[in-house]
Each structure stands twice: as structure tokens, then as C-alpha cells.
Amino acid sequence: KAGVTQTPRYLIKTRGQQVTLSCSPISGHRSVSWYQQTPGQGLQFLFEYFSETQRNKGNFPGRFSGRQFSNSRSEMNVSTLELGDSALYLCASSLIGLPNTGELFFGEGSRLTVL
């Protein structure tokens, strides 16, 4: 079956702009999580959505937001972009309920460059 799909794969924005990233989870997976990866901070958890509700949130400012649709697809938005937002943004999906091994399935990521 198809894996986690993230779009776009690469994008360039300028400071002050906003960006929306999209994630389509594996079919049947209802939990979608987002992570930011930078050389300095490593992989950091942003937030998790399940059944269109945010149920976990990392330590990021309010400029970072997300949502999940009824088909489990998710989007994340970053407003008023800063240079430090340049990063690889990774989406992961997981199965809720049995069989649940606790395994997360990651996409290839969206690489954002802020100029």
C-alpha cells in the first residue's frame, strides 16, 4: 500500500510569508504527527492530530498550526516565516487500535528554505 505522502517536497519562501504543507497518511491510519528537523535542534515534535482534533502539542510558538480533515489528511501552516523556520518538516502516521505496534510511518518530508 502507498506510504505517507508529503507535498511539496521542496519550497522556498521569504521572511514574513506563510506556508502550508500537506500530508496524506497511509490508508486506514487516523493519527498524523508533524516533526521539524534542523541541524541544530534535531528532530522535534510539533503536534499530533487524531479524528480531526489536536491531542498532543510540542513546544513551538503559535505561528505553527495544523489541522486534520475527515479523511485523515493533514496540513500544517507556518505564518510570519522566520529564517530559523528553515527545516525539513516530517509527517508521520500511525494506526490507532489493534494491531498497534506503536510504530510511526514517516514521509520523505518537505524541505522549507526561508530567505
Partner 1 sequence: DAKTTQPPSMDCAEGRAANLPCNHSTISGNEYVYWYRQIHSQGPQYIIHGLKNNETNEMASLIITEDRKSSTLILPHATLRDTAVYYCIVRVDGSSNTGKLIFGQGTTLQVKP
Extract the C-alpha cell encoding 22. Answer: 500537506
By CB under 8 A, name the one of 71, 100, 113, 115 that touches partner 1.
100
| Closest CB to partner 1 among residues 41, 71 | 41
| Closest CB to partner 1 among residues 70, 103 | 103
Q: Among 77, 3, 71, which Cα is nearest to 34's?
A: 77
Extract the C-alpha cell encoding 17. Answer: 510569508
| Closest CB to partner 1 among residues 14, 112 | 112
CA 47 to CA 35: how far, in whole Å? 7
Q: Tell whether residue 109 is a contact of partner 1 (CB under 8 A).
A: yes
Q: Tell whether residue 7 is a contact of partner 1 (CB under 8 A).
A: no
CA 100 to CA 13: how far, in whole Å? 38
- Letters for 43-62 (x = contact with partner 1 by CB under 8 A, - = none) are xxx--xxx----xx-x----
| Cross-strand partners of 37 | 43, 88
Q: How far is the CB of 72 from partner 1 (least distance, A)?
A: 12
Q: What share of the chain is helix, strand, coil (3-state, %, to 5)?
A: 5, 50, 45
Where on the chain is the footprint of partner 1 (CB under 8 A)?
4, 31-33, 35, 42-45, 48-50, 55-56, 58, 90, 92-94, 96-97, 100-109
